[in-house]
Structure formats: C-alpha cells, structure tokens
Structure 1
C-alpha cells in the first residue's frame, strides 16, 4: 500500500462544491496524512499588458496570489480533518505544470483533482490540462468525478499480467495493494479485471492439429490462476476475479459501467520527453471511456 503522508488537492477556491476536496479529506483522515490545498493560477492580461511594468506586474501577481491563499486558508479552516492542512499557491502559465511543481516542492505523494463529467451515456470530459497532469505527474493521481461513494460500492482494478520486466511486475503489485486498501477503507466490493487476446483463427487453417479454442481456454485459465495467486499473496479472500477475451481499452470500461463502479484503479508507466505526449496508450484509452473516479498508480 502506498504510504500517503502528504496529499495535495488541486482546488478552485470560489466554487460552491468541492468533490475532490471532500475525497481528499476522507483519504487524509484514513492515511493520517497532511492535506495540502494547492492552486495554480495565471492571468494572461496581466502578463501581456503593455501598460504594466515588470515591477508592477510582480506586485499585481503577488496580490492575487495572496488573495487566493487567504480564500484557501478560510476554506481549509472549515474542513473536518484530523490532521493538519497547508495552503500553497503558484503562478504558472501551464496549469498542470504548476500543480505538479507544487506537489513536488511540498513533498506530496498523491495529487487529487476534480474532473468534469457528462451524463452516463457520454465519456468523461478531460481537458488537455487533465491529460497532461496524468501524463507528466511523477506521483499517483486521483481524478474525482462528481459522484458519491457509497458503502459496499464497487472498485475495479485493472490487473496487467503482460509485462515481464521488473518495473511492470512491481507496478502490478502496487496497483493491487492500493485497491485492497481503498476497498477496506470504503467497505467496497473489489474486482480484479484482466483481459486475454484471442488466438488467431487462421493458424487453425495452417495447422490442422491446432485448436484455437483449447489454446484460449488454457490462456484464460492461466491468467485466472495468476490473478488468484496475486490475491492469495495479499491474503485477499473475497475478491471477484474477472478475465475476459478482448482489448483492455474496451473490456475494462464495459465492466466499470456494468457494475456502476465508484472507482477504477490502474497503473501507468511514466514516460518522458516526446513519448509522454503520445496519445492512445491503454491507460488513457480506458480513462476516456469511464464515468467514475480514477486512481492512476505511476510506475
């Protein structure tokens, strides 16, 4: 289980509702963690104004930052939290960079951010800043939807067994451990989900002795056994193991929607440079099609 000692929640102080903040307070109390309220702000008109000197611009920015911090401190004082809170504000043209910088500088190991949402029939509305936060953050990110978590809800964990390298193996362990902890905290039903690729039928034509159905059954059985072994190692006896044929980007969202899951936990191997800007990896494809909170464990 991740040791969340300091949790940063990205907030917009003047909103009436704060789903991400409510979730952050709950987790900070459970993990006995310091809650850091962070805000990344920017005003283009101030930066671009030809009538404002550099010194005056700095003064205006400082005044805005101070005002933002005062509002956040008032908000923090109203929270029902067992631990301490801190409020920090930064000025950054790129919102996601500002949030990540705040989290790193404050030595946080979890970022919580609200994401907007459409109706059930439509995918989450992720802005470019949301995607960049998920791509570039070196620490775990919890994206919070505007839905309530109820007792005995459902948590879906996307378990990957394809990676043979140590990094992927460790990431799978971390994903499983974190979902177990959250299921305990929320008294939730836990589901481990995995997918297998169907054997190509054309091989049966080339080799008459090859039976793709039997191969698929053996692969399916092995995946179930591997996930059961993972659960046994965690001393987990009440997890629902689901293994289905298909691509993760289609199977996992379908299961989340069928179960009306409250949370999806999945892993994402960190990327840097130009690779971090590439679209279409499995984690992003899944996230774009679900309607629940999403915890991304960074590997």
Structure 2
C-alpha cells in the first residue's frame, strides 16, 4: 500500500543527529517510491540590524549563509542519494520557521512532515518549541514527531480515537485509523486502537438522587465497546487489539503506550482553534512528555 510519496523533513541544525531524516529514509526504503525534501529555515537577526552594511551587502551575506548551509545539507544526504533515494535539500532565510514550513507543504503538496523531538537531557523528557506547536495545530498534512529509536518489525502502533456522533469527529477517526493501517502495514507492526472515556463527575453523583456511578460507568463502557467493535470490523482489526479505558486521554495513552511498548502513538486534531487547539496544547503536550515512542498528529479533512 503506497501512501507517503512526498515527505518534508524539518532539519534542526542545533541537533547533533537528525532522527527525522533517518525516519524519512526508513519510510522511503519501505515504500521504494517516496520523494524526500530536506528543509531548513535559517535566520540571524544581526544581519538585519547591521547599519554599516548596505542592503545589497546584507543580502549577499544572507545568501552566503544559505549557500553554506545548503552545502552542509547536501553532504548529509549524499550517501542516501548514492543508494538511489529521491532526496533533495532546500534552505531558505525566514524568521518564522513554521510559517515557511506550512507554505512549503501547501505549495508542493507534501503528504507528511517529519520533525525531531527536542530531548531535555536533565529532565529526561521532550521539549516542544512554540514553532512545534504551531506546526502541529496548523499543518494540513500529518506531522510525525520522531525520537531516537527504531521501528522493529512486529512492534506495536497505538491509534487513539474519540467515540462521537459528530460527523467531523467520525471522519477524523476513520482518517486516524487509515493512517495507522498504512504505517502498520509498511512497518509490519501490530495496530492497536484505544478509546478513553471520562469517569462520572463526582458532583453529579452527589447531587442527582438515584444516580449510580457504577451503572453509568458500565453503560458508558458498553456504548464505547459497541462503537469500537464496529470500527474493528470495518477496518479488520483483531478484537484483542481494541482497548476501551475509563480515564482522561493524557493519563490513559501514556500508560497503554508504555504497556504495549508502542513505537508510534497516533492522535487526531479536529481544527485549528477552540477545542482542537486546547487538545493539542494540553493533552498532546502531556502525552509527548510521557511517551518514549514517536507521535503522529492527524488533522480532519478540510
């Protein structure tokens, strides 16, 4: 199943290694037809405020920096080009990296963006910059945040869906599962689906006469089980790979991903503002900080 034909890899020159590039190469080898663009946005404010230089001299200096970095990227990808991979470098001068990344995706039809998570060596966690969050919230194609580990055959992929009657959410669920199926087949991995549903609110349990938290929880469990089984049948996913867990997503997902030793966790984003922005800014932030595997964020179709 061919899926990712045009990957954009975001390079971070401050990192000694580039996990995003390694992951893109891995996918290209699996699909055998993928084009890869290695992309770097650079900017140095000192070149903009130097008063002793003319505009032409400043532009010449900027182009010199771009040319130097382009040579650096070209050397980095040369071994992959030698083995026949379709891979090219691109460097631009831009003060807001996420904006030029989004523009690049829209203008050149990239179907996957891969970026590297920033590891905090002291806290043993991963740090996202404001540009990272803007990219996750606004990128029209899936964004894969990768870390320093492999995707061994026979591993596990965890896709999180939200049971809802809203058409937009149902469409997003199907897109999440579709992306997960593609990657699990490419990586020869086992696909697991998870749905987290909230526990009854304590205040409601106290204020409503005759309200039974146990019956409520059982009813919710059964409802979500029925819906998840329908997704499993539709997408041919084994029943033992379906997980319905009571709790908040930011608690459930890291725990299940850890127990499965999942190489990849897939989340969805409905839109760019409101609930989706809060979801990406809160739930995913905790998930990224807690999960050692990769993270794929998928948007609803627009």
Provide TM-score, normalisation by structure 2: 0.87
Query: Does the CA-based 8 Å contact 1:192-1:239 persist in structure 2?
Result: no
Structure 2 CA distance for aligned equivalents of residues 214 and 272 of structure 1: 35
The aligned counterpart of 1:115 is 117
Q: 1:131 and 1:172 mapped to 2: Cα distance?
A: 21
> Would the aligned equivalents of 1:264 and 1:292 in 2 still touch at CA under 8 Å?
yes
Provide Cα deviations, 1:248-273, integer angstroms capped at 9, x if missing partner: 11111221223332111111123159
Q: Structure 1 CA distance, aligned partners of 2:157 and 2:124?
A: 20
CA distance in 2, matches of 1:90, 1:190: 38
Q: Residues 155 and 105 (structure 1 numbering): CA distance in 2 closer, same or farther, change over 3 Å?
A: same
Give the structure 2 partner of residue 224 of structure 1: 225
Task: Provide the rounded CA distance (Å) in 2 between the counterparts of 1:71 and 1:91.
Answer: 15
Change (3 A) 1:214 1:283: same
User: Which secondary structure does the structure 2 equivalent of 1:243 belong to?
Assistant: strand
Q: Which residue of 2 aligns with 1:62?
A: 63
For 2:123 and 2:247, locate their aligned partners in 1 and report how far apart those are by CA, in whole Å.
22
Q: How many residues align?
A: 297
CA-CA distance at 1:17 after TM superposition? 2.6
Matches within 5 A, 1:190-209: 190-200=191-201, 209=210
- Offset of residue 118 of structure 1: 4.1
Judging changes above 3 Å, is the alpha-carbon distance between structure 1 residues 57 and 202 closer, same or farther for their aligned structure 2 residues?
A: closer
Q: Does the 8 Å contact 1:29/1:82 carry over to 2?
A: no
What residue number does 1:251 align with? 252
Q: Residues 238 and 65 (structure 1 numbering): CA distance in 2 closer, same or farther, change over 3 Å? A: farther
Which shows bigger deviation, 118-127 or 241-250?
118-127
Separation in structure 2 between the aligned mates of residue 102 and residue 69 of structure 1, nearest angstrom: 17
Matches within 5 A, 1:93-112: 93-112=95-114
Distance 1:231 1:278, change over 3 A: closer
Name the TM-score, length of structure 1 as normaliser.
Answer: 0.88
More helix by share: 2
Give the Å deviation of 1:225.
Answer: 1.9
SS at 1:124 equivalent: strand
CA contact (8 A) 1:138 1:270 kept: no
Question: Is the deviation greater in 206-215 or in 243-252?
Answer: 206-215
Contact 2:232 2:242 (8 Å CA) reproduced = no
Q: Which runs of 5+ in 2 are unaligned?
A: none
The Cα offsets for residues 230-289 of structure 1, whole Å up to 9 and x where unpaired, read as: 12111223661111111111111221223332111111123159x859974433443343
Encode CA deviations 1:108-166: one digit per residue, 9 max, x unaligned: 1211011122479743221222222212322211001112222222211111113x332
Q: Is the 8 A contact 1:156 1:192 kept in 2?
A: yes
| Aligned counterparts, 1:136-155, within 5 A | 136-155=138-157
Structure 1 unpaired stretches of 5+: none
Q: After superposition, what is the alpha-carbon deviation per residue over 1:174-217, rounded to whole angstroms, capped at 9, x for unaligned?
A: 10111122122222222211111223455566565543312211
Task: Identify the residue that residue 4 of structure 2 maps to in structure 1.
Answer: 4
Alpha-carbon distance in 1 for matches of 2:35, 2:280: 34
- The alignment partner of 2:80 has SS state of coil
**Residues of 1 paired with 2:217 and 2:55: CA distance?**
67
